[in-house]
Structure 1
């Protein structure tokens, strides 16, 4: 669980940053000061600062611009996955609802060499359109460490995996994503209510935090009638987006 002292420090940092943004001290559209400077000014650790910045991004006070790479769009809208699929889809105005199919502890010894651990928590979710048609299936694999091992018992914070990971000190820093077209196997076809062999877009994203810890691997199956690829370019920066 999160220590109250750290939680209070994070909230104080959030309040001060919101004040600076609303008052114009941080000009709209300009990069924020560096993490080292901000952590010194706010008298918090860099870890606490990153959690505060993640919360400000969730509230849309700031935006993260990442260096180029392939991302996914939904019906023509670019999906910013930094806040998670649920928020990204909601931002398009689409009426999508999410079903949690599984949240449990699993053992994957075959991944021990790749990630240095063999015990994980898996979150499996399916998303449907308003008309009931399933459009995506997502499996998120997280380390069963740092408090995350309790997720099957306590559940997600605000039904958001991104917020939950940040609250437990896991803030994304780097990773990679592979995207391609693959046929559904029988199990996934059943969950997506399609015929086995139907071709879907498969995205596999692996993320590490600032401490170089493995924090998440997400396998997403996306209906190609709605999801497309998009290529963006640009430097990574945090900007005031108020």
Structure 2
């Protein structure tokens, strides 16, 4: 008779070895696995640790990354607008809209039904340099955002006022060619190559704070990764 932990390890091993979870694919979130197998998050972490020892997954402790704009580090905890302003960048922010949305991926990972998407574009001298969609859980006062708007025009302040404070998460970096919609909003050419950053932030209990997908001008933005002791 297998324990639930052993079943979790076995199931994930089968998914990886069979190719159903391919190299580079994201594993289900800890909350999702804990709910699915009716175990604690500690048991999930223990199972993931065993998969790492089996060299089926790879994780890095103490890894962090930050964004730079024209070589100046941006503290994303301040929010993009404040961070860019502190960096001396003459950047304006336009709110494109706030609307209630459904997100099956987030629902499967965090178990919530409703979400709110906040879409913004940032421009420098009228030229689009970033396009951002931040998705937050439609809980408490956040569910009313489409009607009430952001607190002091800041999503960071809005989340903090709702009691959501990020303590960790993960970030994926790739590239993406602009489709017609994104190109039109940014004032760029269709097919132009931009950096794509997807950052998921959670609170101390592993609950979703926000998932932010940003398209960034690679001529102005870079990502810097730190690891271990330096």
2:216 paired residue number: 222
Among 137, 142, 145, the alignment partner of 2:139 is 145
CA distance in 2, matches of 1:73, 1:127: 15
Which has the higher mean CA deviation after the structures are superposed, 181-190 or 150-159? Answer: 181-190
1:35 paired residue number: none
Name structure 1 gaps, 5 residues minimum.
Answer: 1-66, 236-242
Among 81, 88, 100, the alignment partner of 2:83 is 88
CA distance in 1, matches of 2:187, 2:109: 32
1:174 aligns with 2:139: no
1:98 paired residue number: 93
CA distance in 1, matches of 2:71, 2:106: 35
1:108 paired residue number: 103
Name structure 2 gaps, 5 residues minimum.
Answer: 1-61
CA shift, 1:176, in A, is 0.3
1:1-242 equivalences under 5 Å are 67-129=62-124, 131-233=125-227
CA shift, 1:233, in A, is 4.6
**Aligned pair in 2 of structure 1 residues 234, 165: CA closer, same or farther (>3 Å)?**
farther
1:69-121 CA distance string (max 9 Å, x none): 22211011011101111111111011111000011111224532122123110
SS class of match (2:140): coil
TM-score of the aligned structures, taking structure 1 as reference length: 0.66
CA shift, 1:215, in A, is 1.3
CA shift, 1:196, in A, is 1.7
2:59 paired residue number: none
CA distance in 1, matches of 2:187, 2:64: 31
User: Hey, which bits of structure 1, 4+ residues long, moved more than 6 A?
Assistant: none
**Aligned pair in 2 of structure 1 residues 212, 111: CA closer, same or farther (>3 Å)?**
closer
CA distance in 2, matches of 1:90, 1:233: 28
> Number of paired residues?
168
Coordinate RMSD, CA, aligned: 1.6
CA distance in 1, matches of 2:89, 2:163: 30
CA distance in 2, matches of 1:199, 1:135: 12
* Alpha-carbon contact 1:110-1:118 (below 8 Å) kept: no
CA distance in 2, matches of 1:176, 1:111: 14
* Alpha-carbon contact 1:104-1:121 (below 8 Å) kept: yes
Q: Tell which has more relative contact order, 1 or 2 (C-alpha 8 A, sep 6+).
A: 1
